[in-house]
Amino acid sequence: MVKIGLLGAGRIGRVHAVNIAGHARSELVAVSDVNEDAARSLAKVYGAKAISSEEMLQDNSIDAVLIATSTDTHSEFIEKATAAGKAVLCEKPVDLSLDRAKKCLAAVSGSGMPVMVGFNRRFDSNFAAIKASVEAGEIGKPELLSITSFDPAPPPISYVKLSGGLFRDMMIHDFDMANFIMGEMPKSVHAVGTSIVDPEIGTAGDVDTAVVTLTYADGRIAVIKNSRRAVYGYDQRIELLGSEGLLSAANVLENTVSKATKAGVTSAKPEFFFLERYMRAYASEWDAFVSAILDGTPMPITLRDGVAALALAEAATQSRNSGRPVEPPL
Amino acid sequence: MVKIGLLGAGRIGRVHAVNIAGHARSELVAVSDVNEDAARSLAKVYGAKAISSEEMLQDNSIDAVLIATSTDTHSEFIEKATAAGKAVLCEKPVDLSLDRAKKCLAAVSGSGMPVMVGFNRRFDSNFAAIKASVEAGEIGKPELLSITSFDPAPPPISYVKLSGGLFRDMMIHDFDMANFIMGEMPKSVHAVGTSIVDPEIGTAGDVDTAVVTLTYADGRIAVIKNSRRAVYGYDQRIELLGSEGLLSAANVLENTVSKATKAGVTSAKPEFFFLERYMRAYASEWDAFVSAILDGTPMPITLRDGVAALALAEAATQSRNSGRPVEPPL
Amino acid sequence: MVKIGLLGAGRIGRVHAVNIAGHARSELVAVSDVNEDAARSLAKVYGAKAISSEEMLQDNSIDAVLIATSTDTHSEFIEKATAAGKAVLCEKPVDLSLDRAKKCLAAVSGSGMPVMVGFNRRFDSNFAAIKASVEAGEIGKPELLSITSFDPAPPPISYVKLSGGLFRDMMIHDFDMANFIMGEMPKSVHAVGTSIVDPEIGTAGDVDTAVVTLTYADGRIAVIKNSRRAVYGYDQRIELLGSEGLLSAANVLENTVSKATKAGVTSAKPEFFFLERYMRAYASEWDAFVSAILDGTPMPITLRDGVAALALAEAATQSRNSGRPVEPPL
Amino acid sequence: MVKIGLLGAGRIGRVHAVNIAGHARSELVAVSDVNEDAARSLAKVYGAKAISSEEMLQDNSIDAVLIATSTDTHSEFIEKATAAGKAVLCEKPVDLSLDRAKKCLAAVSGSGMPVMVGFNRRFDSNFAAIKASVEAGEIGKPELLSITSFDPAPPPISYVKLSGGLFRDMMIHDFDMANFIMGEMPKSVHAVGTSIVDPEIGTAGDVDTAVVTLTYADGRIAVIKNSRRAVYGYDQRIELLGSEGLLSAANVLENTVSKATKAGVTSAKPEFFFLERYMRAYASEWDAFVSAILDGTPMPITLRDGVAALALAEAATQSRNSGRPVEPPL
């Protein structure tokens, strides 16, 4: 049984709390949040204690922490928690600053403590099936990867301004997915972006629609499409063309019902957003983290993976600004 | 090159005329119809002559006739044409009277002339693929066949009154399909039917919605569902469960486009009716007929097949009236 | 918070235990089983006590019981539990004997205690969407219902012999679904069945493949297809044709991945069996039961519903044996 | 009735001959080819005369010509035919040289004769449905277009060397499709390409896999993916994200049959290649050309459209070589 401290009692912290408490081999013992009421309220549901983050890091009965605080605190908490001898599962992204993330990586490397970054989509059963099929050689040699990733609606402008931009905040998931499927970093990143969904997003210096092309040393290509608005729901698909076939992961729909009338045949929309679509993936992610700790196996996603995705986001941001392809700075 | 006389210049006659004239190995040389204007007008399009049916049957330059006249004339034309040494492709059904059809079968058997009955659906590429897969053993031993066959809208009451009833007029296609897929006649037929779509159809002594269950000597079962009204279009599907799998033929849709909006995901309806859905099947049917004549191979659908389907329609009619299972009278 | 006693610690009892313990408004306090080890082992997982069924029924701190024991004990436990003032959720079927079930219904009616029968499929989100759409009038007036329900593999012969037969054991779910969707009992039941999957099942007096046709007073028709063997997985589909359209609930697949190669396009199979397909439905079922108790609303499925489904199973059994349509004995 | 001369009796010429001869308002009167035997043999099938291209252009009884000769002769034939007062339907591309194509455009503009370029895909019913839906405002304002276009297998190296490269030979169809759907030229083109399918194609100076990103003045984006090899067949899909929804055109499959077994659910592959997939589109294209001539309406695809697509191919070629975005030279 792993004893867990949860740093952050916001929306994503609450999602993780369910899985921590519900897992047969983990126990939620403490919750902290800068909003102490939020921490107390969440802790109460699971019979955990609400404490400060300092107390949590000093509590030797806590084996591991899950970091679900605001992004600007991730690197510091990772460093402190590993220094305190705790295993870490940290939400994405590691940091908005690539430099800061690299420093964190260097600091942690010395500690020998296991750190996992929460790229939940790797645990989606559909994408995992794609990965397994590729690894099994079922479509031969991969050649061209396509990732479609659209959110149902743009976040508030206040969020956009603090987000680090679409590439670091949203597409970072897709950069990690590309690294996961392709198994290595691309040698070049080219990005185009526009604020066609909401000009205010452009005024805030960000884009809401973007296409990024990645090229690999061996000639493979990947293309990632992002939009902040797909009114029909969360659109999360992957296609991989290989020398012997094509793998496609379609959306998960709200139900399997279709209705045929004079007006056409209507079927269900994709699951609305990430909490619905990736509900099971978060549980699998947690299980993988607990298993790695208790069974002493390597973390399925490392801190280096988190920094690598951030390096691609950095390159995409630069490419979008300069109009030119950029080599990822890692 | 086979020289063809077309008996009947109505809707289905015109469909066949296109295929006769367009086929590399057949030529439309003559058209007859009780409506002489219709015959003349159709003949003109293809450079054929408009003549009476008597003249057609006596014309030794004509190798084969396609019978697309009203059902009550089918048996007589089949008998006369074969007696005149012509090959015959006759539209379904052979007759509304099973006794008359049996007499026709007996008469023709002596002539040695090839007669094919126009069960166009056997030539639909989807259903043909089902048959080929079964024959290849791809789902093991067939056990349970399901046929769904819904028209987009009921015919006029005037048509219903002359049609011989849903079982002889509409479900006869499905009876032939069951015979085609299962490869033998069932030993028992049970039918239920209702006039829930239009009570006037009930007043006219017919049903508009029906379910027929067929059981076979070796334990296999088939179930056929018919409705005169599917407002979304012509619904034509087959499923076959076997010891090693399930084969399903889905509808052919008007196009492959889908539209995802807040209201759901809308895709195209099935092809509207038999002329759209089976356009290609009619061409394949004609090709099969011409090939059988010129290559001297057996007709892919025989007059006996036409009588067999009619025997099932007869049994279903009796079962629906009596409420009891009926053994097919053939 | 409802305090729950669980009668039966077998496979389905364990499924329910997860939901009872995981629900925010119910608590699993006691488990009983004729196999005391099974009861103790399951009770231990959830911090409940293992007691005898007699003790459970006499324990006034227990508000409700879930009956997941062998079918032959259902009626008696329902009677005893309601007499002891406990709400009841009982697994299907109520009994193998229709007479016994009717007596149970009569006995319970007097008690005023709420009893729900566990027809889990009503809580499947896909079938529930069909029901909601019909009720909203989205396809007009229902006319023809089709239920496909195939198990992945036949049970052992030892199970078959005690099961009461396919109609009472397996198709009873579909009879309830027909009652659920159509909203009333049919006036006539016609069944055909065969032991084409496994002749030993026939030797044991049962069938493994069956088609049942239900006709309703107002002219509607329903057809149910069952097979004990669909090698590709649990096949659970519903179609409902109405005056203004068709509703279809397709299978829930293991994932959304497809693979296109020279050999064709391969996609995932249906979820393997009822535990996979209806995992979420069992949780929704439990939630509905708890809500009805705590909110004082009517049970969504009543004991009378359970008896009604059994009456259809009885009629189907008789029809299959006699070859004739049978009026349901309720 | 339009009298047609066909220039070129090769594979695509023969496809057009079927449609010219089969159309109710056009007649194939003459065929020419540098291979006189090919011309004679094709002419014979349709009762046309085999003549030289010079004779054809001088023959005043010929109203229009279809140019299906090798690409290097297109511009000259367009100029000569329009100078001779003939309407022209010319196969794509107009030319491999953008400069030559622009000169042709200038020359023809003076003639006042109608010229259509044969971008057959605009007449595919699926893509046409996408266009119609966009025009009807069904998905609001378009934002992000994706075109997937994979051939089943790479052409011979000898063909590759003369083809002008993937961008001019293959992706030119997709450039035209982008222009068709988006309704204007992009302001910038960025291309990446690789010869991962066959290194010999790289040695020949070409690519076999490519991704091109187009950006538009108003912020819209389009991305085109090409591969010379999709072993499962011709992959031709379009997606268009708009402010109010997503339109998707899926592949046209060989049939609608699926087979579920222990190994999964297998369905049909896409139609094999362009002759299968676009068979009907070629007929619609021809009908549009004939209608424009006889009804005096504008050509649905102009010579300027042909030059515009070529300008995008030119820009993509330059971008792929330089690694930088390129403004299309038109």
DSSP D166-196: HHHHTTHHHHHHHHHHHSS--SEEEEEEE--
CB nearest D267 (choices: C230, C265, C269): C265
**CATH number of the domain to which D146 belongs:** 3.30.360.10
Nearest to A141 by CA among A241, A216, A221: A241
The H or E element spanning position D27 is strand D26-32
Using CA coordinates, name the residue in chain C closest to B144. C209
Using CA coordinates, name the residue in chain C closest to A258. C248
DSSP B100-153: HHHHHHHHHHHH---EEEE-GGGG-HHHHHHHHHHHTTTT-SEEEEEEEEE-SS
Assess whether D190 and D313 both reside in one domain: yes
d(Cα A223, Cα A215) in Å, to the nearest integer?
9
- D132-150 pLDDT, tens digit each: 999 999 999 999 999 999 9
Tell me the CA distances in angstroms from B78 to B169, B312, D33, one per residue in order. Answer: 19, 21, 49
Assess whether A196 and A133 both reside in one domain: yes
CB nearest A126 (choices: C125, C133, C257): C257
Interface contacts A/B by beta carbons within 8 Å: 45
Average pLDDT over chain D, rounded to an integer? 97
Percent of chain C with pLDDT over 90: 97
**CATH number of the domain to which B8 belongs:** 3.40.50.720
d(Cα D21, Cα D3) in Å, to the nearest integer?
10
CA torsion angle for A24, A26, A32, A33 (degrees, to 10)?
Answer: -60
pLDDT given for residue A245 in this prediction? 98
pLDDT given for residue B326 in this prediction? 98
Chain B residues touching residue C323 (CB < 8 angstroms): 324-325
Q: Are C196 and B215 an interchain contact pair (Cβ–Cβ within 8 Å)?
A: no
Interface probe, candidates C149, C190, C251, C265, chain B, greatest B C-beta count within 10 A: C190
Nearest to A266 by CA among C255, B227, C248, D267: C248
Using CA coordinates, name the residue in chain C closest to D233. C262
End-to-end CA distance of chain B: 37
Q: Are B265 and A264 an interchain contact pair (Cβ–Cβ within 8 Å)?
A: no
Which residues of A, range 219-238, sit inside 8 Å of D by Cβ? 219-221, 223, 225, 227, 229-232, 235
From the number of C-beta atoms within 10 Å of its C-beta (0-12, 13-18, 19+), residue D11 rates as: exposed
The crossing angle, in degrees rounded to 10, of helices A98-111 and A74-83 is: 10
Q: Are B196 and C211 an interchain contact pair (Cβ–Cβ within 8 Å)?
A: no
DSSP bridge partners of D115: D88
At residue D207, does pLDDT exceed 90? yes
Q: Are A262 and B232 an interchain contact pair (Cβ–Cβ within 8 Å)?
A: yes
Q: How far is B120 from chain C (nearest CA, A)?
A: 25
Q: Do residues D238 and D232 touch, judged by C-beta distance below 8 A? A: no
Q: Do residues C87 and C63 touch, judged by C-beta distance below 8 A? A: yes
- C160-187 pLDDT, tens digit each: 999 999 999 999 999 999 999 999 999 9
Q: How far is D262 from chain B (nearest CA, A)?
A: 7
D253-257 contacts at long range (C-beta below 8 A, 24 or more positions apart): D253/C265, D254/B125, D255/B125, D255/B126, D255/B129, D255/B249, D256/B126, D256/B249, D256/B250, D256/B251, D256/B252, D257/B126, D257/B129, D257/B130, D257/B133, D257/B247, D257/B248, D257/B249, D257/B250
Q: Which of the four pLDDT bands, split at 50, 70 and 90, describes residue D110?
A: confident
- Residue A281: HSE in the Cβ half-sphere, 13 Å Cα cutoff: 19
Look up residue D96 and give its amino acid. Answer: L
Q: In this complex, which chains have at least 3 CB pairs below 8 Å with chain C?
A: A, B, D
Q: Is C48 left (phi over 0), alpha (psi -120 to 50) or beta?
A: beta
The stretch C24-29 carries a mean pLDDT of 94
Q: Which two tokens stand for residue A142?
A: 């991969």
At residue B290, does pLDDT exceed 90? yes
d(Cα B301, Cα B115) in Å, to the nearest integer?
8
Q: What is the reported pTM?
A: 0.96
The H or E element spanning position D11 is helix D11-22
Assess whether B195 and B243 both reside in one domain: yes
At residue C206, does pLDDT exceed 90? yes
Domain-ending residue, one of A80, A95, A113: A113
- B32-60 pLDDT, tens digit each: 999 999 999 999 989 999 999 999 999 99
User: Does residue B57 sit within a domain?
Assistant: yes
The stretch B275-300 carries a mean pLDDT of 96
Tell me the CA distances in angstroms from D134 to A100, C148, C245, D129, D285, one per residue in order. Answer: 46, 39, 27, 9, 21
DSSP state of C159: H
Q: Are B194 and C223 an interchain contact pair (Cβ–Cβ within 8 Å)?
A: no
Assess whether C95 and C167 both reside in one domain: no
Chain D residues touching residue C231 (CB < 8 angstroms): 261-262
Q: How many domains does chain D have?
A: 2
Chain D residues touching residue B130 (CB < 8 angstroms): 257
CB nearest A223 (choices: D215, D223, D227): D223
pLDDT string in tens for chain A (330-residue length): 999 999 999 999 999 999 999 898 999 999 999 999 999 999 998 999 999 999 999 999 999 999 999 999 999 999 999 999 999 999 999 999 999 999 999 999 988 899 999 999 999 999 999 999 999 999 999 999 999 999 999 999 999 999 999 999 999 999 999 999 999 999 999 999 999 999 999 999 999 999 999 999 999 999 999 999 999 999 999 999 999 999 999 999 999 999 999 999 999 999 999 999 999 999 999 999 999 999 999 999 999 999 999 999 999 999 999 999 999 998
The stretch D169-198 carries a mean pLDDT of 98
| DSSP three-state, residue C188 | strand
Q: Are B265 and A267 an interchain contact pair (Cβ–Cβ within 8 Å)?
A: yes
At residue B224, does pLDDT exceed 90? yes
From the number of C-beta atoms within 10 Å of its C-beta (0-12, 13-18, 19+), residue D29 rates as: buried
Assess whether A167 and A54 both reside in one domain: no
Domain-ending residue, one of C62, C87, C113: C113
d(Cα B262, Cα B297) in Å, to the nearest integer?
57
Look up residue B68 and give its amino acid. Answer: A
CB nearest B211 (choices: C209, C218, C223): C223
pLDDT given for residue D330 in this prediction? 87
From the number of C-beta atoms within 10 Å of its C-beta (0-12, 13-18, 19+), residue C60 rates as: exposed
Average pLDDT over chain C, rounded to an integer? 97
Strands B115-118 and B87-91: parallel
Helix-strand-coil percent breakdown of chain B, rounded to 5? 40, 25, 35
Q: Are A267 and B269 an interchain contact pair (Cβ–Cβ within 8 Å)?
A: no
At residue D28, does pLDDT exceed 90? yes
Q: How far is C266 from chain D (nearest CA, A)?
A: 4
Q: Which of the four pLDDT bands, split at 50, 70 and 90, describes residue C128?
A: very high
User: Does residue C292 sit within a domain?
Assistant: no
Q: Which two tokens stand for residue C301?
A: 């499925």
From the number of C-beta atoms within 10 Å of its C-beta (0-12, 13-18, 19+), residue B52 rates as: middle
Assess whether A66 and A148 both reside in one domain: no
End-to-end CA distance of chain C: 37
Chain A residues touching residue C247 (CB < 8 angstroms): 257-259
Chain B residues touching residue C194 (CB < 8 angstroms): 215, 219-221
Nearest to D161 by CA among D151, D169, D172: D169
Question: In b/e form, how buried is each residue of C97-127, taking b as 16+ CB within 10 angstroms?
Answer: bbebbbebbebbeebebbbbbbbbbbbbbbb
Q: How far is A22 from chain B (nearest CA, A)?
A: 34
At residue B256, does pLDDT exceed 90? yes
At residue C110, does pLDDT exceed 90? no
Using CA coordinates, name the residue in chain D closest to B133. D259
CB nearest A265 (choices: B261, B263, B266): B266
pLDDT given for residue A154 in this prediction? 97
Q: Which two tokens stand for residue D155?
A: 């052409």
Average pLDDT over chain B, rounded to an integer? 97
A159-162 contacts at long range (C-beta below 8 A, 24 or more positions apart): A160/A201, A160/A204, A160/A206, A161/A204
d(Cα D182, Cα D215) in Å, to the nearest integer?
11
d(Cα C227, Cα C235) in Å, to the nearest integer?
9
Assess whether A67 and A39 both reside in one domain: yes
Q: Are A139 and C244 an interchain contact pair (Cβ–Cβ within 8 Å)?
A: no
Tally of CB atoms within 10 A around C44: 12
pLDDT given for residue B22 in this prediction? 86
Assess whether C242 and C312 both reside in one domain: yes
Interface contacts A/D by beta carbons within 8 Å: 101
Chain B residues touching residue A269 (CB < 8 angstroms): 260, 264-265
Assess whether A108 and A248 both reside in one domain: no
User: Which residue carries 């011979």 as its tokens?
Assistant: D156
CB nearest D129 (choices: B125, B244, B257): B257
The H or E element spanning position B288 is helix B279-295
At residue B111, does pLDDT exceed 90? no
The stretch B270-290 carries a mean pLDDT of 96
User: Does residue B274 sit within a domain?
Assistant: yes
CB nearest D143 (choices: A190, A209, A232): A209
Q: In this complex, which chains have at least 3 CB pairs below 8 Å with chain D?
A: A, B, C
* CA of residue B214 relative to chain centroid, distance: 19
Domain-ending residue, one of D78, D113, D148: D113
Is the minimum CB–CB distance between C60 and chain A shorter than 8 Å?
Answer: no
Q: Are C247 and A255 an interchain contact pair (Cβ–Cβ within 8 Å)?
A: no
- B157-191 pLDDT, tens digit each: 999 999 999 999 999 999 999 999 999 999 999 99
The stretch C39-65 carries a mean pLDDT of 96
Assess whether C130 and C255 both reside in one domain: yes
Assess whether A197 and A259 both reside in one domain: yes
Percent of chain D with pLDDT over 70: 100
pLDDT given for residue D266 in this prediction? 97
Q: Are C247 and A256 an interchain contact pair (Cβ–Cβ within 8 Å)?
A: no
Q: How far is B298 from chain D (nearest CA, A)?
A: 27
pLDDT given for residue D178 in this prediction? 98
Question: In b/e form, how buried is each residue of A242-272, taking b as 16+ CB within 10 angstroms?
Answer: bebbbbbbbbbbbbbbbbbbeebbbbbbbbe
Q: In this complex, which chains have at least 3 CB pairs below 8 Å with chain B?
A: A, C, D
Assess whether C253 and C188 both reside in one domain: yes
- C60-97 pLDDT, tens digit each: 999 999 999 999 999 999 999 999 999 999 999 999 99
Q: Are A266 and B268 an interchain contact pair (Cβ–Cβ within 8 Å)?
A: no
- C216-266 pLDDT, tens digit each: 999 999 999 999 999 999 999 999 999 999 999 999 999 999 999 999 999
Interface probe, candidates A141, A224, A246, A269, chain D, greatest D C-beta count within 10 A: A246
Q: How far is D135 from chain A (nearest CA, A)?
A: 19
User: Does residue A293 sit within a domain?
Assistant: no
Q: How far is D241 from chain C (nearest CA, A)?
A: 21
d(Cα D107, Cα D101) in Å, to the nearest integer?
10
Chain B residues touching residue D17 (CB < 8 angstroms): none
Q: How far is A148 from chain B (nearest CA, A)?
A: 15
Which residues of B, range 151-210, sit inside 8 Å of C by Cβ? 188, 190, 192, 194-197, 209-210
Query: What range does the domain containing C232 cover?
Result: 122-281+308-322
Chain C residues touching residue A261 (CB < 8 angstroms): 138-139, 244-246
- Residue A250: HSE in the Cβ half-sphere, 13 Å Cα cutoff: 16
User: Does residue C164 sit within a domain?
Assistant: yes
